Structure 1
Amino acid sequence: MTISDDQLLASLGYKQEFKRAFTPLEVFGLGFSIIGLIPSIASVLVFALPSGGASALVWGWATCAFFLTFIALAMADLGSAMPTSGGLYYWTYKYSSPRWRTLLCWIVGYTNTITNVACMASVDWGCAVQIGAAASIGTNMSFSPTTSQTYGIFVAIMFTHGLVCSMGTKVIARLQRVWILLNVCLIFAVIIGLPAATPKEFKNTAKFAFGDFENFNGWPSGYAFILSFLAPLWAIGAFDSTLHISEEATNASIAVPWAMISACGISSILGWGVNVALAFNMGTDMEAILSSPIEQPLATIFFNSFGQKGTLALWSFIVIAQYMMGASFLTASSRQTFAFARDGALPFSRFIYKVNKHTLSPVNAVWCTAFLSLLLALLAFAGAAAIGAVFSLAVIGQYLAYSIPISARFLGGQPFTPGPFNLGVFSLPVAIIAVTWMTFMSLVFLFPTSPAPEAQVMNYSIVVLGGILVLSVIYFYFPKYGGVYWFKGPVTTIEHVPGDESEESRGSLEKRPASTQGSGEKA
């Protein structure tokens, strides 16, 4: 027997508060636009080229695409069973053992919240850098933006994103169709246009494109190649983004998992094509590309092939696509912030947990996420390594938040009821491969980009992520006011959970008065 989206949400303990305006195509569009292949590659190409050259682009991307598929499948399996905006921390509570479920739910919720803030900051910072690169190209490299100027652009972008994401859900949903079209056009413009426009002196042989390896970072070649994975793993990520809008999607239990899988699969294939096109048409002088005054490797490659005017024309659309990427991500991340506040876990939860009666969107959660992103991006003033840590944190934090609920499903000893999409007997092997890969890559990204680093080029990801985890645990166990005294996991926002009459269920999804949620008082 099939049940409606509202009934499914009610069975998870939540009343319907958003308008379900996202069609399955638009759910895919949000995931696809957040990946945003060309603008994403533009943002992170600087991490790939120094750690492998053409081989990092072609084979690094292919390697990561293979393992990313397992993560998408494992997440889709869970997303179909329980499509709710809280997603990761809700699954953690549901499937973890009773002894650890509340603490793990708390840790995953805070990790997911802050990681989304880091992703938001890195996306909009990338957009600000791309605007600076456009200004540099337009002035024949006579202008190079300072950190302060880039941050000022970043603030303006974030502010306008706050305005866009405060609009009605239907408006944001319909925009996804435009963003799908723009991203697809950009991808094929590069795959087809770049080889056609590149002068002979910048064309490379197949031997170079598929076999060149250059290491500028000082690590052994094998490890340097692994470090280049930051580029594809950052570009194709945020699988939970479509999950966070599941309460605004029609047919969510099917639309959400298929959006995760299709966005990952299509982006992996098309992204590999883009990287092959770059490897064949970027010339052989990696050092010149990396040291260009444009300060954007992809823009430098385009400049060599299309010239100033052609590059500016194409780059303007890349900036628009990156801007759209940021708007989509703020939409998704604000819903997770809203959900965590709905369950009373965040400071000021009563303020954040508000749905605007005119737009039916969580306006307070939107601006809260935007404000935290502005604060995190201040790391840019500490140097390139510090802002690079924001990009690393976006990957490491995601993987921690993904790994815990995927593992809990099999280790927590709790029953699992599959949704319309499920992997069946393949669920366990897929989960093992996904969690092993995420654990390995998280450890890799905690290391600096070069051996024996000085303070200004140190990888500060461990400091930022470790600080978040330590502070969240301290907050949980803080005497008298800590979450251990009042946070009991997900709460119900309806009087009755359909189809669940058990005393155990009513206790595990405890209904608490709104006046105590997130206040630090005993419930």
Structure 2
Amino acid sequence: MKTAAATEVVVQDVSTRPEDTRSLASDEAALAALGYKQEFKRAFNAIEVFGIGFSIIGLFPSIASVLVFAIPNGGPVAMVWGWAVCSFFLMFVACALAELGSAAPTSGGLYYWTWTFATPRWRKVLSWLVGYSNSIGLIAGLASIDWGCAVQLMAAVSIGTNEKFVPTTGQTYAVYVALLLSHGMVASLATSIIARLQSVYIALNICLCLAIIIALPAATPSEFRNTASFAFGGFANFYGWPNGFAFMLSFLAPLWTIGGFDASVHISEEASNARTAVPWAIISAVGIAGILGWVVNVVIAFCMGTDLEGIMSNPIGQPMATILFNSFGRNGTLAVWSIVVIVQYLMGSSILTAASRQIFAFARDNGLPFSGLIYRVNKRTATPVNAVCASAFVALLLGLLAFAGPSANSAIFSLGVSGQYVAFSIPIVCRFLGGAEWTPGPFTLGRFGLPVAIVAVAWMAFAVAIVAFPTAPAPDAQGMNYMVVVIGGWLILCLVYYHIPVYGGACWFNGPQVTVEEAVLPGKDEPESLDGTQDEKFSESKK
């Protein structure tokens, strides 16, 4: 039990704080109830918490990066109606995660919730798998964003040289490495700087979308303007799948674009009023991205022309850049494209920030190799610099898949979706089937929680199956979708590492670790919650 003195100090500290810092005291108390001491500065306000998730989505640059998946698998129908279908179902996923994020806002998020709600028999291995799936999903998201940014930069060079420059994979990878290194420096800045940057990210993202919505129709010559029947009903199928299945394969584009919205959870230990800010940030990021992104896709469908094969095969090497070139010309495209590249770059810094906080939290709970090294907070910046470096290094290795060909490169994009959805699904299922008591936070779905969870998990299972298919039927080695190999290999390695005798995770991983010093007296292994009652969750974690 806590001593009376310790309890008195906590109460006195909260009561004597100024009014504008009471929420910070409440956040620290809520984190302490989860077993963790406050190690980061809480510098993110509600808008900035929304900003990190919305900036990772990065609407127009993301649409530009994955248009290569939508055009061949449905064309305008996939862009417009595929986006609408995915946005609708992704809102169920967002609501299910938002409810969990409100109940227990911690940087570990998904694996922490899994441990909390899973049955004692399965919580250890499931929490382990979720931690690793969430980590690789975020890092794959970083890799795909930075690879997309490198391709966009090379497309700009191609436009500027009248399509005479055709970049090699090695040149693109070199740019990719440079982007990762620079993002590592940005993500290592002080929390207050990263938080203030989010307002800039939000403004740039929205302004870029509005500029495209207004300027693209105005600048597009009549020869490239499409009718409403084509924009809403035109269909293309380049690879030979049945039309309906080709349409479903195009879902990779919106699924990847509206992804990474769990980032708000991972910076919850740096946010004020996290129990309210985190869930609303998740829901608003997905909702705004779904609506605004649909409008952007409609505008593109009206202004892309009907020669879809020409767009895909253009020497520029980037379908969206080709569409802009046809509408704005060389100089206009370079002006717009420079903003696209900047916004895509900002996406990379945001997702590396989120990934590093997940890696830090997992290392804090001793879930990673070299956890003692990774779990360190830089004294100067008060940020997890070692976790930033570890995340960037793994992303650098993932980028090597690009040398195996376009299909292997697309596996990076698919891995970002599949890794995240595996990590999203397990804690949602455990919440309802694990048998643990559920105490909701300020945001709750009430009686709608179960049906929302069922739809969310069913949709994610369907999505993972879809993104695992190859580009074309009967693929050869070059046409294979290596996502199954990558995510399957990753999960198998995680399980092997877990079960290795003596050295495996089963021997030393014990879920969330208590780091609140005053929560445990000498000789006691079972901390208590802030109200003085024993915390059963942590009691179980020590067994």
TM-score by length of 1: 0.96
Equivalent in 296, 317, 322 of residue 274 of structure 1: 296
Contact preservation (8 Å) 2:116, 2:537: no
Match of 1:97, SS state, is: coil
Mapping for residues 489-500 of structure 1, pairs under 5 Å: 489-495=511-517, 496=519, 497-499=529-531
Aligned-partner residue type, residue 84 of structure 2: A
CA shift, 1:237, in A, is 1.0
Whole-Å Cα distance in 1 between the matches of residues 400 and 535 of structure 2?
A: 48
For 1:116-515, list aligned pairs within 5 A: 116-495=138-517, 496=519, 497-499=529-531, 501-502=533-534, 504-510=536-542
SS at match of 2:315: coil
Give the C-alpha shift of residue 499 in structure 1.
Answer: 3.0
Q: Name the SS for the 2:166 alignment partner.
A: coil
Structure 2 unmatched runs, 5+ = 1-21, 520-528
1:350/1:216 CA distance change after superposition, 3 Å: same
TM (norm. structure 2) is 0.93
- Contact 2:256-2:416 at 8 Å conserved across structures: yes
How many angstroms does 1:85 deviate by?
Answer: 0.2
Shift of 1:510: 3.8
Cα distance in structure 1, aligned partners of 2:377 and 2:412? 29
| C-alpha displacement of 1:503 | 6.8
Cα distance, 1:500 vs. partner? 5.4
- Shift in Å, 1:165: 1.0
Amino acid at match of 1:341: A
2:531 maps to a residue whose letter is: G
CA contact (8 A) 2:376 2:384 kept: yes
Listed one character per residue, the Cα deviations across residues 331-350 of structure 1 (whole Å, up to 9, x for unaligned) are: 01100000000000100000
Q: 1:39 to 1:380 in 2, by over 3 A?
A: same
Q: Which deviations, in whole Å up to 9, do the C-alpha atoms of 1:462-511 show, x marking residues without a partner?
A: 10001111111111110111111111111111131423532744423449
Q: Deviations over 1:228-272 (max 9, x none)?
A: 000000000112111000000000001000000001001110000
Conservation of the 8 A alpha-carbon contact between 2:57 and 2:261: no
Aligned residue type for 1:218: G
Which letter does structure 2 place at the counterpart of 1:113?
A: S
CA distance in 2, matches of 1:509, 1:310: 59
Specify the code of the residue in structure 2 equivalent to 1:422. Answer: T
The aligned residue for residue 75 of structure 2 is: 53
Distance 1:138 1:114 in 2: 36
Residue aligned with 2:363, SS: helix
Contact kept? 2:52, 2:350, Cα under 8 Å: yes
Q: Secondary structure at the match of 1:217?
A: coil
- In the TM superposition, residue 369 of structure 1 has moved relative to its aligned partner by 0.2
Q: For structure 1, which segment, 486-495 or 244-253, has the greater mean C-alpha deviation from structure 2 after superposition?
A: 486-495
Aligned pair partner of 1:84 in 106, 113, 128: 106
- For residues 124 and 57 of structure 2, the distance between their equivalents in structure 1, rounded to whole angstroms, comes to 32
Contact map agreement 1:102 1:487 (CA 8 A) in 2: yes
- Is 1:100 matched up with 2:109? no
Among all aligned residue pairs of Structure 1 and Structure 2, give the percentage whose two residues are the same amino acid. 63
| Contact 1:102 1:489 survives alignment (8 Å) | yes
Q: In the TM superposition, what is the alpha-carbon distance from 1:137 to its structure 2 partner? A: 0.5
Aligned residues: 511
Q: How many angstroms apart in 2 are the aligned matches of 1:376 and 1:8?
A: 37
Q: 2:374, 2:390 → 1: CA distance?
A: 7
Aligned position for 1:72 = 94
Give the Cα separation in 2 of the matches to 1:181 and 1:117. 25
